Structure 1
Amino acid sequence: MPNFYTIHIRNMVCPRCINVVTEELEKLQLQPVEVRLGEVQLAGEPSTEQLEQLRQVLLQNGFELLEDKKAEMVEKVKLAIIGLIRSGEVENLSTNISDYLAEALGRDYHYLSGLFSSEEGVTIARYVVLQKVERAKELLAYNELSLSQISYQLGYSSVAHLSGQFRQVTGMSPSEYKKNASRFRKPLDQVGGKD
């Protein structure tokens, strides 16, 4: 049976990130078996020297090698939230976010919530709002969906609810934002607490 080695990486939140990390792993001859958001499976255990080289290369590309189990779990929470919101499936969620995360990560939500807050300086609920608002910014910039459609896709009960949270986070209404959309967007890895 093959001896796979799993590493976790912070700020690896998009398909472009997967491509960058895959290229860097191949340059270091680390033989990636599978590269997913936030996680890499290697064909074997890297040497201490290879891990140090990887750590440096990741930092140069805006990523961070996670070697702490708590940090790994926080990154998994972030990736689960980002994945859900970006999938457009929030409106079809048959449960609440806390139950979704507990099931997706196989951990008690109270544990996840406490850990996330202590590590990130922001609650999971606040992080969800920040990610939803960032996704709304993106969808507004594309100018393909109405505010009502965006509200529905992001799982809001009404346009007013989305608009209220949008204004609270950005200081402007969605329509005000739309006029200057490109100036206000943040990269996904910079949305949230300590980032």
Structure 2
Amino acid sequence: MTTLQIKNMVCDRCIMTVQQVLKDLGYEVESIALGKVVITEDVGFEDLEKISEALVGKGFELIKKNDKALLEQIKVQLLDYLKHLENSEDPEKVSTFLEENMQYNYSYLSNYFSDYGGVTIEKYLINLKIERVKELLSYDELTLSEIAWKFNYSSVQYLSNQFKKVTGETVSSFRSHIDENSRQSLDAV
């Protein structure tokens, strides 16, 4: 049995794509989740290279170093937290969420993320939120007040100020020229 850590797995379609890539290569997947796949066979170096090449062709990356693996696990948990934040009426703090889901002390995770990720967890989460806000704005289904409430902002003004600080433009300006180039995928944050 071999466990693979995979970068850029951020959604259910990613899971299906990775599963299909491994199936096409002749591997049986025992379990799969965001960022992690367990295959039934023991895999050697040549097989890992073949898997890595196939995954790169689909926009994923096989993580080969343990340092990168924990960083990617934190990023996956932050994506899960973003979904949790968006769908929960009374979400816990990100520190509590990470401690419960990763079984590490938050200060350790925070220092680790800053050292290896080059940015704080808080800043990374803000960037994720703003990209998700851009996506919701592009759908034009929710008001800015509803979006602010979804992401637990204390006010629309606070969201607007953070949006401008991160993107360099106002929400109104962004809405006036929304196109496919004005957003980036969450795995690219």
With the length of structure 2 as denominator, give the TM-score of the two structures. Answer: 0.93
Letter in 1 for 2:32: V
Once residues 62 and 76 of structure 1 are traced to their aligned partners in structure 2, the CA distance between those partners, rounded to angstroms, is 18
Q: Does 1:47 align with 2:44?
A: yes
Match of 1:101 among 84, 89, 98: 98
Once residues 88 and 129 of structure 2 are traced to their aligned partners in structure 1, the CA distance between those partners, rounded to angstroms, is 10
Query: Corresponding residue for 2:17?
Result: 20
Could you tell me which runs of 5 or more consecutive residues in structure 2 were left unpaired when the two chains were aligned: none
Q: Deviations over 1:71-99 (max 9, x none)?
A: 11111111111122134236521x31112
Q: Secondary structure at the match of 2:112?
A: helix
Letter in 1 for 2:21: E
Percent of residue pairs bearing the same amino acid type: 37
With the length of structure 1 as denominator, give the TM-score of the two structures. Answer: 0.90
1:34 Cα deviation from its structure 2 partner:
2.0
The number of residue pairs the alignment matches comes to 187
1:2-151 superposed matches below 5 A: 4-87=1-84, 88-89=86-87, 91-93=89-91, 95-151=92-148
Q: Deviations over 1:143-182 (max 9, x none)?
A: 1111011001111111111111100011111121112222
Q: Secondary structure at the match of 1:25?
A: helix
Query: Corresponding residue for 1:189?
Result: 187
Alignment root-mean-square deviation, CA? 1.4
Once residues 117 and 90 of structure 1 are traced to their aligned partners in structure 2, the CA distance between those partners, rounded to angstroms, is 27
Contact 2:131/2:184, CA 8 A, preserved across alignment: yes
Structure 1 ranges of 4+ moved more than 6 A: none
Letter in 1 for 2:187: D
Once residues 132 and 29 of structure 2 are traced to their aligned partners in structure 1, the CA distance between those partners, rounded to angstroms, is 30
Could you tell me which runs of 5 or more consecutive residues in structure 1 were left unpaired when the two chains were aligned: none
Q: Secondary structure at the match of 2:141?
A: coil
Once residues 78 and 90 of structure 1 are traced to their aligned partners in structure 2, the CA distance between those partners, rounded to angstroms, is 20
Match of 1:157 among 154, 157, 164: 154
Letter in 2 for 1:9: I
Match of 1:172 among 145, 169, 172: 169
1:40 Cα deviation from its structure 2 partner:
0.7
Q: Quick check: 149-158 or 78-87, which moved more?
A: 78-87
